Structure 1
Amino acid sequence: MSWQQFASTLLIAVLFVSTQVKLSESFAVMSVDLGSHFMKIGIVKPGVPMEIVLNLESKRRTPTVIAFKGGDRQFSDMALSTRVKMPVNAYIYLMDIVGKQFDDPAVKLYQERFPFYTLVKDEERSTVIFKVDEETSYSTEELLGMLLEYCKQLAENFAEQTIKDIVVTVPSHFNQAERNSVKEAVHIGGLNLLQLMSVNAAVALNYGVFRRKDFSNKPQYIIFYDMGASSTTASVVGYVLSQSKEDTRDINPQLTIHGVAFDNRLGGLEMTLRFRNYLAEQFNKKKLTKQDVFKNQRSMAKLFKEAERVKMILSANTEHYAQVENLIDNQDMRIKVTRSIFEELNADLFERVTMPIKKALEYSEITLEEIKDVILMGGGTRIPKVQESLLKAVKRKELGKSINTDDAAALGAVYQAAHLSQGFRVKKFIVKEATVYPIVVEFKRQKTGNSKTVKRTLFGRGNTYPVKKVMTFNKHTDDFTFAVGYGDLNFITDDHRKSFHKMFLKNISLTGVGDAYAKHTTAVDYKGVRVHFRMDESGLLHLDGAESIFEQAPDAVNANEESTWSKLGNTLSGFFRGNEESDGMSVNEEGAAEKAASADKETGPTEKGSEDSGDGQSKEKKSEKPQKEDTTAEKKSEKVEKPTEQEQKESDKTPKEDGTKPSDKNQTNTTQGTTKKDETSKVKKPGILKENLKMEIKILDLLPIAEKKLKVSKNRLAELRKKDDEKRALEHSKNELESYIFDMQDKLSQDDYVQCSTEEQREAIRKECSESSDWLYEQDDNTKTEEYVKRLNILKAASKDLLFRVKEMRDRPVMLDTLKSLLNHTEYFYKNLYNHTLGDDPVFTQVEVNTLGKLINETYAWRKNILAEQEKTPLHEKPKLLTEDIALKIRDLDREVNYLVYKAKSYRPKPKVKPDATNSTNSTEKADSEKVKTDSDTEKTTTDSQDTADSQTDKKSEKKPPHRNDGEL
């Protein structure tokens, strides 16, 4: 290989590696199944498919708890330990109150369950603030952001690269405020949110990804039942193969959430709290101390931990002993509990177990017979009584347990993260989540003397998303205001309904409507105001814009000569339109608005009189019914709009549609062609004009965190993160110094180290280790990391020479054996070179052979002399023969041999020249007469061939292999 080829290859390799490093650094994505009790972290990176990240304790799930001790943050098991010792410093079950107002019933329940927290009201957003002291307080979003930041750190340590993109799971019953709060927590944690994914959808995706071949065009329905720590959810999910609208050959599986029902107060936490209170009552009955254990928060935290442990044991055993050492006043607790006692304590909760399944089936309009399987999720489903109740409800012999209840949501979410990211190409699996709470639009009719309020459903309950919709206000010609909020919530409990403090989410004021109408109404037909709504992948509502729509009159040669029938039609249309009592509003999925506008020209406004007759409620309910299989791709709105479907049909009517008989088609072909050509030149299709409107949005629901406060939160997390990094660096330096001291003290007694040192040398190192050990244990918490590093460097300098001598002594025999083996092989190769130096066309020159022989002799001589010197050198002194010198001799031999081997492989012998053959059919007389001429030609040919061969040899010699003395390749 030439230097040019080598350099090119090396450059390509470096570019490839650097490209792969950059790509891989940006490719890794993560997910977090953010539960109330535990959180699980999923990751995907190049070379590592979906995997669960282990925490520092090598566990697959991490407690959702953060604690503060001495100004330092604690996570995972360390935080749980702090929770038992100092409950007020550890924050748990944050998902139960995120995004909720301070006067929410859920916040009141949270305060009753954990009375040791000091909760205060955020004056700006009316949310919950955890007050630590007079100077320090944390919002729920900040604490969740810290937990997500910790998850990011664990994922990055696992992936060994930076991670930015994340998908976070949330309960399907989270409303707009709760979802927005989690989104802000992700932002505070320094991550880029790809999607908020409902837990039921993530589990369903994980189930479907590994069963792609099981799905067909016939829908397959599965119930996923999830009982977590704080809530219970049942989801009816349908799987079907969906054909892409853009490419009919593109067929992918699709899951659709057809029905969701939940109980947001039914979960494992409530059962554990009741069990804890039972243990406290039993302990008080024994009267081992005068104190009431209920009033001691530390004792109650110990009982909570024990109740959780015993609850899990009773899932597999019928009885067990609950025991806590030094519960209070140095008194231990030991109480026998049984599964029947646990079931009696939670009897009313077990009665509610089956209700979510019944409601989910009822709303989805899917019968139990159509359900293929009932899959269990969540830790609460491990309780035998829960499984017993479910078996009776679904009338089955067994329940599905084919997925990992702990990992399924995190793995499904990370698959979605890989799909949404730019760095991975995964098999497409369409996910259609369902709207849990209906979204409506409320506005006043713009009519003189009538200010009646109209309410219309925008996103009905059970509508799938992501989706875009357009609402058209046909009658509004002046600036107006409308509100967007929740619809009918009678399907949830009263306590849950109280969480929706304000039924309206936003109030939108549109300006510029009157100006646009005045500008265009004299020349064009007014089609109304269109407002574009979008429900994104995270289930969050967005307003993307608003515009006034006008339809231009078609241009014609005789545009001013309007036909009598046209005038009559317009007169009648205006007459009937003026007497209609509709609200002048219609709702369509985006992309269908043009069709609705065109239809309105002939049929008038939709939903006529619905606000007066009461039909609106029935229509709203009808629109809320779930769409069983929604495979329609959403179209994007276009600024330049095409003719409507009806107009296209009218302009492209066939002769048959015009009343012409098929038999007359050929006869009238020429006439029709001329007529159509004339009509095309005279009549043009109407165009659409748009005037963008200004929107002023007033948020009526939970306000977003102010930019200033958001910056303060980020800075606070940055300071805490810096402090955590400094603490880790300090602990690492302490541990490294301590480990080095113990390691050196142990090595000084080992044989190799004794041989390579004198007693004085070892004593000097022992003294340094002893002084460093004493110094280490004398330091307080104020000692900086640099001091430990400095002390470690002093110790390393004192032992450096000894470590070097021992290493040389151990590595020297191996290197000498390698050199000896290479010399033997090189010498054998050298002896065979002479066979290739003979003849007119030798492979090697004599100089090359002599050079190799000389190198072999010099290496033998060097080895002999240096070994003699090394034998005279004591082991406790610096060695004369270094492994580095042996490596250089090995390199020289290897380079010279590789050069000769490369030349042998590249060798091509000179071509042999053959004389031209004479024609065997020629007569002997002709051959004899031309003998002299033939001999002359042959001689000439031989000479020419020799010249050609010499020329080729000269050209070949110009392309030489790299010289052996040019340096190491």
Structure 2
Amino acid sequence: MIYKFLVAITLIALHALSVSEAAVMAIDYGTDWFKVALVKPGIPLDIVLNRDSKRKTQAALTIRGEERIYGSDAVNLGARFPLNTYFSVKKVLGRLVDDKIIKDYQSVFPNKIVPDPIRGTVVFQHNETTTFSVEELLAMQFAHAKEQAEAAAQEAIKDVVITVPPYYNQFERQAILDAADLAGLHVLTLINDVTAVGLNYAISRFTSFTEEPQYHMFYDMGAGSTKASLISFKTSNIKDVGRFNKTIINLEVLSVGYDRTLGGQEFDIRLQRYFAEEFDKKFSGKLKSSIFTSERAMTKLYKEANRVKQILSANTDAISSIENLHEDLDFRFPITRSKFEEITADLRKRVSGPINNALSNGKLTLADLQSCVLVGGGVRVPSIQAELKNTVGEEKIAQNVNGDEAAVFGAAFRGAGLSRQFKVKEIKVKDITPYPIEVDYSSEPKKSEDGTSKSKVYHTVLFNEFTAVGTRKMMSFPRTSDFNFSLNYAKLDDEIARDFGPTNIAISKITGLTDAIKQFNDVGVERPKVKVTLQLSESGLVSATDAIVTIEQQSFADKFKSFFKSEESIKDVPLPDETPNSVNASESTPEVNATQTNDTEPIPKLTKIETKNLSIEIEYVGIIPLGENEKVVSIKRLRAMDASDLQRRVREEARNNLEAFVYRVQDFIENNEVILVSTDNQRAELKSKLSETSDWLYEEGEKAETEEFRMRLMSLKLLEQPIAFRREERDKLPGAIFTIKTAINSTRAFIEEIKTNSTAENRYYTDEELNKLLNIVGKVEDWLNEKLVLQEKTPPHFDPILTSIDIENKLKGMEREFLLLPISKPTTTISLETKTKETEQTKSKHDEL
């Protein structure tokens, strides 16, 4: 597999690390499926298999009582328990309940949604007394993914990289981070999923890039949405250790285009509703209620629609068939690919939109593209592929990455580089945020001519559209008292704003400035400047990280001198403009200095500069993240559910072990060899116990505790093991006897050959040493013969007198004595040829033994 080969080249553990800190996992969490990858020293980067030995797990969860069921099992239970099975929770992350996307979600999935009383976000009403936040449901699935990775790594794992769609805003990204925190994971970074695909594309093509940029479009139609990223690849040489240079790959995301609601799931919904309409038509005179009112029936149809869609991707027609769909009526309905394309025609018209938007935003044309790489399950639909070929040209369509797994492999590679525990081929990734972010700020109030105080409001775009993530900027505010500013998304395109959600992110409150200024009331101060550092993190979240104030003051002597200056000799120094300055953190902030107008007698210079740290308080105003107290409560509840799940799994394992043992031994006691080594009474007793246990398992055992399963298994093993041991020895003993007899004969022949072909003066072993070994061999032979005589007299249903383990121990004793023989130097000089020959003979005998 190319990934294993690739990682063998590019991924090397730097050194042996403590087991608890070495492994890193990646989660590619999609609307319908999630994949988990693992990177750990000593094993190749690869996908983690789930409990069904599958490489991906369906993103579904059923909760029944205290039991949680994941993946395909949850999907199968969805029709029986539609209100307690949760699908596609990714769609409602970081959303307010009155959001249009939530309304669309409720039109498909029957779960009851209520608003969080504090945050206004989605909460699922599980039953009359229990609710789950979206973050909690997602955390359960993250924890399930963590269990899969830990089972593969055989160690605890905390570090993770998680993929997100590039269009996710601050609130959606924060919800992912909160869910990971609840699951006990430490997020190294969030990575845009299409960027992760591009990274995976790059790591297998180190030699195909040059210093001239290559432009590739990565088009991903998943279950929930469609994204297109325009990515540039090129190489550059940078200085390495010492006088050497190294070549790195620069991966730069230039722009993105997307359609939040166009995905494979939308095609499933169209097909589901078409089937429902046809069902109502077919049985219009027999139905008491429309199928649209039945949660179970519509859930069955949704699952069936996905199955039929997959069939139509490879065939021109299919048949939908569901028994007892609604009101005891079966449904069987044929459909053709052409009909499917007809009912989804309007969706196909939107297929090229993300590509066109990405090219427009990146100011490139189709002619500039080397290829358009397709990923995601949606691109397997023939009509979608046809639209894409019409858009970019068939010659530029490429499917040279694994459409299902490229993102999770790219995310795992990113995690390996960030963990500092691995050395990886260097790929410099420059990702972007698709939305502009601005700082809104009111100036300090000034008195106007009419005596009223007025402030000006400024809107400064801090991070432009398509700004690189990981950017830090500094803003300078001329202020003399505590103040606030807000972080908001700047004006969005109407089409983007429709599905975007809140645009207000947070209000940052700068405090401590008023108190700092009060300390200098007795001296003159230049108007202070507050510098605030703001960061757009690698995960795409904006925040104010620190604030400082710089205060310039005059000494008392300077102030005294300036008091006696002629007023005519000094012009008023205008105050600096109220508009805050915004610069990159790496640049120096422009400072406003006083201007001198009298050349003969200068105004005394400011003589002292002090810098003080200020406090930043954040008030979230769009969608509030989970608070610390809420997290504590959620974590406590989730850990209790984890403990309950573990207890249930241990019980199930103990029950399954007992049940499997009963079935196996019921066949075991009928074996002819077993009959030979056991008595009728022994078998009857064991058979009776097995029958009793089998009956108990399906009656009282349904409510039994773990320990009772274990005790019953132990009591059965006490009856079965002696019989099994006799049967096993009956198979092993002949071979063991042959082996020890061969060893005895070989050792004697070895000693005889040495004595025959050499003299006491020139051999490597003394007669005393050889005789000692010969004596040991004789004792072993006597022991063996004695045991064989006794064994011949022992009935087969008795425990054997001579066992293969006894023989193995005797063989080890002979080998130990042989290897401990000292090799003495010969008393006379012999030729090199003779010595070499004897050494080879000695080695040969050692090997024989």
Structure 2 length as normaliser, TM-score?
0.87
The aligned residue for residue 287 of structure 2 is 290
The aligned residue for residue 543 of structure 1 is 544
RMSD: 3.1
Retained in 1: the 8 A contact 2:142–2:180? yes
Q: Is 1:696 aligned to residue 617 of structure 2?
A: yes
**One-letter amino acid matched to 1:152:** K
Retained in 1: the 8 A contact 2:300–2:325? yes
> Which residue, out of 141, 148, 173, partners 1:147?
141
Q: C-alpha offsets along residues 408-451 of structure 1, whole Å, 9 cap, x if unaligned?
A: 11111111111112432221212111011111111122362341
Please give the residue correspondences for 1:305-344 in structure 2 after superposition, counting only pairs within 5 Å: 305-344=303-342
User: What is the rounded CA distance, in whole Å, between the counterparts of 1:464 and 1:100 in structure 2?
Assistant: 25
Aligned residue for 1:194, secondary structure, equals strand
Aligned residue for 2:632, secondary structure, equals helix
User: What is the rounded CA distance, in whole Å, between the counterparts of 1:911 and 1:447 in structure 2?
Assistant: 110
Greater C-alpha Rg: 1
**One-letter amino acid matched to 2:545:** D
> Which residue, out of 464, 467, 470, partners 1:463?
467
> Which residue, out of 649, 655, 660, partners 1:728?
649
The aligned residue for residue 224 of structure 1 is 218
Please give the residue correspondences for 1:176-255 in structure 2 after superposition, counting only pairs within 5 Å: 176-244=170-238, 249-255=245-251
> Which residue, out of 133, 144, 160, partners 1:166?
160
User: What is the rounded CA distance, in whole Å, between the counterparts of 2:553 and 2:472 in structure 1?
Assistant: 26
Aligned residue for 2:262, secondary structure, equals coil
Worse-matched range after superposition: 31-40 or 68-77: 68-77
Please give the residue correspondences for 1:528-677 in structure 2 after superposition, counting only pairs within 5 Å: 528-549=529-550, 578=574, 582-593=577-588, 596-597=589-590
Residue 118 of structure 1: how far off its partner (Å): 1.5
Residue 518 of structure 1: how far off its partner (Å): 6.0
Aligned residue for 1:860, secondary structure, equals helix
Retained in 1: the 8 A contact 2:170–2:505? no
User: What is the rounded CA distance, in whole Å, between the counterparts of 2:219 and 2:141 in structure 1?
Assistant: 27
User: What is the rounded CA distance, in whole Å, between the counterparts of 2:820 and 2:248 in structure 1?
Assistant: 57
Structure 1 length as normaliser, TM-score?
0.77
Q: C-alpha offsets along residues 712-760 of structure 1, whole Å, 9 cap, x if unaligned?
A: 2112212222222222222222221122122222222222212212222
Please give the residue correspondences for 1:881-896 in structure 2 after superposition, counting only pairs within 5 Å: 881-896=802-817
Aligned residue for 1:694, secondary structure, equals strand
**One-letter amino acid matched to 2:86:** Y
Retained in 1: the 8 A contact 2:442–2:457? yes
Retained in 2: the 8 A contact 1:513–1:548? no
Q: Is 1:59 aligned to residue 54 of structure 2?
A: yes
User: What is the rounded CA distance, in whole Å, between the counterparts of 2:522 and 2:468 in structure 1?
Assistant: 37
Retained in 2: the 8 A contact 1:439–1:487? yes
> Which residue, out of 113, 117, 124, partners 1:119?
113
Q: C-alpha offsets along residues 95-114 of structure 1, whole Å, 9 cap, x if unaligned?
A: 11111111211112212222
**One-letter amino acid matched to 2:266:** E
Retained in 2: the 8 A contact 1:509–1:697? no
Retained in 1: the 8 A contact 2:506–2:618? no
Aligned residue for 2:499, secondary structure, equals helix
> Which residue, out of 118, 122, 125, partners 1:131?
125
User: What is the rounded CA distance, in whole Å, between the counterparts of 2:416 and 2:780 in structure 1?
Assistant: 58
CA 1:491–1:424 in 2, change beyond 3 Å: closer, same or farther?
Answer: farther
Please give the residue correspondences for 1:804-953 in structure 2 after superposition, counting only pairs within 5 Å: 804-834=725-755, 838=759, 843-900=764-821, 903-904=822-823, 907=825
The aligned residue for residue 387 of structure 1 is 385
Q: Is 1:36 aligned to residue 37 of structure 2?
A: no
Q: C-alpha offsets along residues 869-923 of structure 1, whole Å, 9 cap, x if unaligned?
A: 11111111122112232122212211111012xx32x7487899xxxxxxxxxxx
Residue 526 of structure 1: how far off its partner (Å): 6.5
Residue 278 of structure 1: how far off its partner (Å): 0.9
Residue 72 of structure 1: how far off its partner (Å): 1.3
The aligned residue for residue 83 of structure 1 is 78
Aligned residue for 2:18, secondary structure, equals helix
CA 1:532–1:245 in 2, change beyond 3 Å: closer, same or farther?
Answer: farther
CA 1:552–1:433 in 2, change beyond 3 Å: closer, same or farther?
Answer: farther
**One-letter amino acid matched to 1:270:** E
The aligned residue for residue 432 of structure 1 is 430
Q: Is 1:275 aligned to residue 279 of structure 2?
A: no
Residue 284 of structure 1: how far off its partner (Å): 1.4
CA 1:908–1:455 in 2, change beyond 3 Å: closer, same or farther?
Answer: farther
Please give the residue correspondences for 1:412-431 in structure 2 after superposition, counting only pairs within 5 Å: 412-431=410-429
User: What is the rounded CA distance, in whole Å, between the counterparts of 1:328 and 1:754 in structure 2?
Assistant: 56
Retained in 1: the 8 A contact 2:510–2:547? no
User: What is the rounded CA distance, in whole Å, between the counterparts of 2:335 and 2:257 in structure 1?
Assistant: 33
Residue 80 of structure 1: how far off its partner (Å): 0.6
Retained in 2: the 8 A contact 1:520–1:550? no
User: What is the rounded CA distance, in whole Å, between the counterparts of 1:309 and 1:807 in structure 2?
Assistant: 50
**One-letter amino acid matched to 1:872:** K
**One-letter amino acid matched to 1:879:** P
The aligned residue for residue 952 of structure 1 is none
Residue 578 of structure 1: how far off its partner (Å): 1.0
Residue 274 of structure 1: how far off its partner (Å): 1.5
User: What is the rounded CA distance, in whole Å, between the counterparts of 1:757 and 1:781 in structure 2?
Assistant: 33
User: What is the rounded CA distance, in whole Å, between the counterparts of 1:584 and 1:741 in structure 2?
Assistant: 82
User: What is the rounded CA distance, in whole Å, between the counterparts of 2:239 and 2:488 in structure 1?
Assistant: 33
User: What is the rounded CA distance, in whole Å, between the counterparts of 1:687 and 1:535 in structure 2?
Assistant: 34
User: What is the rounded CA distance, in whole Å, between the counterparts of 1:893 and 1:521 in structure 2?
Assistant: 98
The aligned residue for residue 509 of structure 2 is 508
Aligned residue for 1:697, secondary structure, equals strand
Residue 20 of structure 1: how far off its partner (Å): 9.4
Retained in 2: the 8 A contact 1:256–1:464? no
CA 1:461–1:536 in 2, change beyond 3 Å: closer, same or farther?
Answer: same
CA 1:687–1:890 in 2, change beyond 3 Å: closer, same or farther?
Answer: farther
CA 1:770–1:113 in 2, change beyond 3 Å: closer, same or farther?
Answer: closer
Q: C-alpha offsets along residues 601-659 of structure 1, whole Å, 9 cap, x if unaligned?
A: 5999xxxxxxxxxxxxxxxxxxxxxxxxxxxxxxxxxxxxxxxxxxxxxxxxxxxxxxx
Unmatched 5+ stretches in structure 2: 1-13, 448-453, 597-606, 831-849
Retained in 2: the 8 A contact 1:516–1:548? no
User: What is the rounded CA distance, in whole Å, between the counterparts of 1:726 and 1:346 in structure 2?
Assistant: 47
Retained in 2: the 8 A contact 1:324–1:332? yes
Worse-matched range after superposition: 248-257 or 540-549: 248-257
The aligned residue for residue 12 of structure 1 is none
Q: Is 1:749 aligned to residue 753 of structure 2?
A: no
The aligned residue for residue 479 of structure 1 is 482
User: What is the rounded CA distance, in whole Å, between the counterparts of 1:100 and 1:521 in structure 2?
Assistant: 52
Aligned residue for 2:508, secondary structure, equals strand
**One-letter amino acid matched to 1:821:** T
Aligned residue for 2:422, secondary structure, equals coil
**One-letter amino acid matched to 2:271:** F
Q: Is 1:27 aligned to residue 29 of structure 2?
A: no
**One-letter amino acid matched to 1:766:** K
Residue 58 of structure 1: how far off its partner (Å): 2.6
Worse-matched range after superposition: 512-521 or 119-128: 512-521
> Which residue, out of 788, 796, 799, partners 2:720?
799
The aligned residue for residue 302 of structure 1 is 300
Residue 472 of structure 1: how far off its partner (Å): 1.8
Higher strand share: 2
